[in-house]
Amino acid sequence: MNKGIIYPIEIKIANKKSWFTPAESNAYYRTRYSRNAIAVHWWGDGTGASNHDNIVNYFLNQGNLGKKSVNYVVSDNKITLMVSPDNVAWTTGPGNPTTISIEHQPTLGAEGYKKSGWLVDQLEERYGRRLELFPHNKFQPTQCPGSISLNRIRAEADKWKTGGYNPAPPVATPKPAPPVVPAPTVSITYSVLPAPVSYTVNKDTNLWNFNTATWAGFLKVKALKKGEGYTVHAIADNHSVKAQYGITKYSFDKKLTNGVNMKDLDLVSLPQPIPVPPVVPPVVVVPVDPDRNAIIAFLTGLMKSIGEFLAKFTRS
């Protein structure tokens, strides 16, 4: 292979909202991540190399919207890298996790095929294996890649591999290292509750491993049914996705990042106590002492009446 012969690669990395890391790909797709093949695309509007930058800008805008992306764009003029080949671009449907996608100029000429073959050869050297070329329409119902010849790209790649291009193309600059996209930083803080709090699950949901900076990276630990009880020992704030997760004492003590989104939990309402009427002590009626003078007056009058009666009886 012509080890020293290279084409310069323009680098315009797409928004992270539009591609997966290998771990995120495995969490999203049933098919396991691998780099075993190349998916060949075209941009299909019949334009030439002068439209290269417009296509790159189109994919940048799609990436900002979180809709789709591509690993490389190739034309007669140049090669642009938009998603590292180690990561998974979104443009080949179910073929995304296993292929590296290359978007081609629909009117690709001899120089464009030479560039595409060179890129395939570079990728095969990078991964240490022969990469099969697949048309986009192998994975999805589409006319893409139209008139692009996969056999011609393979022939160009093999020619590069065997040193068939000599002398070298006029462009010879140091080989740029593929960009290393840093892994997202996960920011998590914990708040331990003064005492465990009982909740119920308010819908069918999951216990999640929330140690990820992107929603796509969340891993299901187990399913939870609506109405299940769940006791929260501490609340974890995942600042990267701006969400809170209730975790049990077991997970907290074991330093496991497993929890339930607090929006999926309802606080258990404690029964209201039945009021007990207060105990009213019996009313004790204390007799009032009679007036002593009144008693004496009564007795005196009684004695006087008896005396008058007896006197009258004696006179008779």
Quote the tokens at residue 11. Answer: 């680098």
For residues 123 and 289, the model is more confident at 123
Q: What per-residue confidence (pLDDT) applies to 235?
A: 87
Contact 19, 71 (CB under 8 A): no
3-state secondary structure of 146: coil
Indicate the pTM of the whole model.
0.54
Q: What is the mean pLDDT of the chain?
A: 86
Q: How far apart are CA 23 and CA 87, in angstroms?
A: 9
Q: How far apart are CA 119 and CA 129, in angstroms?
A: 14
Question: Taken in order 36, 19, 64, 83, is the CA torsion positive or negative?
Answer: negative
Q: Which of 85-89, 224-228, 304-308 has the lowest mean pLDDT?
A: 304-308
Quote the tokens at residue 210. Answer: 């929330």
**Averaged pLDDT, 123-131:** 94
Q: What per-residue confidence (pLDDT) applies to 187?
A: 83
Q: Which of 5-9, 125-129, 132-136, 216-220 has the lowest mean pLDDT?
A: 5-9
Q: What per-residue confidence (pLDDT) applies to 242?
A: 87
For residue 178, whether the previous peptide bond is cis, meaning omega lies within 30 degrees of 0, is no
**Averaged pLDDT, 200-218:** 92
Q: What per-residue confidence (pLDDT) applies to 188?
A: 86
**Averaged pLDDT, 192-214:** 89
pLDDT of 32 over the 80 cut: yes
List, in order of start, the domains of the chain with CATH numbers: 9-161 (3.40.80.10), 188-267 (2.30.30)
- Computed over its alpha carbons, how large is the radius of gyration of the chain? 44
Q: What is the pLDDT of residues 253-286, one digit of tens each?
A: 988 999 999 999 998 865 555 666 666 666 555 4
N-term to C-term CA, the chain: 170
**Averaged pLDDT, 107-111:** 96
pLDDT of 23 over the 60 cut: yes
pLDDT category at 119 given cuts 50, 70, 90 is very high
pLDDT category at 186 given cuts 50, 70, 90 is confident
| Top mean-pLDDT range of 7-11, 18-22, 234-238 | 18-22
Neighbours of 126 (CB within 10 A): 14
Quote the tokens at residue 91. Answer: 């443009």
**Averaged pLDDT, 55-74:** 96
**Averaged pLDDT, 23-35:** 96
pLDDT of 41 over the 60 cut: yes
